Amino acid sequence: MQHGLSVPATFTAVRDLAEAARTAISHLGAPELWLFELELAIVETANNIVAHAQDTDCGRIDLYVSVPAGPNGRFILEFRASGHALARHHLDNVRMAPPEAESGRGLALISTCVDELHYERSGEINIWRLVKIL
Amino acid sequence: MIGVKLEAGVLWIKPYGQRLDAAVAPTLRAAVADALAQRPHLTIINAESLTFVDSTGLGAIVAIMKQMDPQGALAIAGAGPNLKRLLAMTGLDQVFRLFPDVAQAEAALLGTAR
């Protein structure tokens, strides 16, 4: 089953992405902590797009969700947004920021919350693909 | 909306919404700015209403801690399972003092039995 949603690239609209993903998977009875980790991964990915990738104030984030048919399946999230490319070295050695850091935890949290994290660029479009196994 | 009270060197913070995320974090920072200029010795955050916190919200809490009296402490009271999970993932459960509720935080940190 696949779902698609497009929202403005704003921090407030990021919440709609998380809500859509929760709704898409609600029938599978996933544990609350699993759902929280999924939501956190979605929010942190989208926040990164809003904060770092956007080069205009009127960009959008497109999210495609592939929901497994039943338990033990792969929940796949694909984010597409135009903007600046991610420097690859950021994905090579992801570490949690030190306690005194006020930022920089997003990528490490995403990596912790999902089973697979992929990034690629297609023309001017950044594509993030997250896989979380239920 | 975020409730803020500074009294005798103690800063109480209570978010009234369910989310402390990138959309809300600037509001938190603005709400506590004047109080933090007084360098409070203790901050107690009532997290009972929070069901979701992201790294930006967490960063705002770290910023609060860094603007306090360096000899002081920041406590989070009433953190739910989701916030506890986030604090564990980031290692901040070893930095902030965690209490089941505000009453126990106050009793432990202020010596006020209720």
Percent of chain B with pLDDT over 90: 95
Residue B106 pLDDT level (bands cut at 50, 70, 90): very high
Q: pLDDT in tens for each of the 134 residues of chain A?
A: 677 899 999 999 999 988 888 888 888 888 999 999 999 999 999 999 998 766 666 689 999 988 887 677 899 999 999 888 887 777 777 899 999 999 999 999 999 999 999 999 999 899 999 999 98
Model pLDDT for residues B3-18, shown as the tens digit of each residue: 999 999 999 999 999 9
CB contact under 8 A, A33 and B81: yes
Is residue A129 within 8 A of residue A118, CB to CB? The reply is yes
> What is the pLDDT at residue A58?
65
Task: Round the average pLDDT of chain B to a whole number and report it.
Answer: 95
Candidates B58, B44, B51, B56; CA nearest to B99 is B44
Model pLDDT for residues B44-78, shown as the tens digit of each residue: 999 999 999 999 999 999 999 999 999 999 999 99
ipTM of this complex prediction, to 2 decimal places: 0.92
Q: Does A46 touch chain B (CB under 8 A)?
A: no
Domains recognised in chain B with CATH numbers: 2-110 (3.30.750.24)
CB contact under 8 A, A36 and B21: no
Task: Give this prediction's pTM.
Answer: 0.93
Of the candidates B23, B82, B92, the beta carbon closest to that of A99 is on B92
Measured between alpha carbons, how far is residue A87 from residues B51, B56, B91 in Å? 33, 21, 26
> What is the pLDDT at residue A43?
97
Residues of B with CB under 8 A from a CB of A: 19, 21-23, 52, 54-56, 58-60, 62-63, 66, 81-82, 85-86, 89-92, 94-95
Q: Are strands B10-15 and B2-7 parallel, antiparallel or unpaired?
A: antiparallel
Model pLDDT for residues B82-97, shown as the tens digit of each residue: 999 999 999 999 999 9
- Cα A16 to Cα A32: distance, rounded to the nearest angstrom: 18
Of the candidates B60, B89, B92, the beta carbon closest to that of A112 is on B89
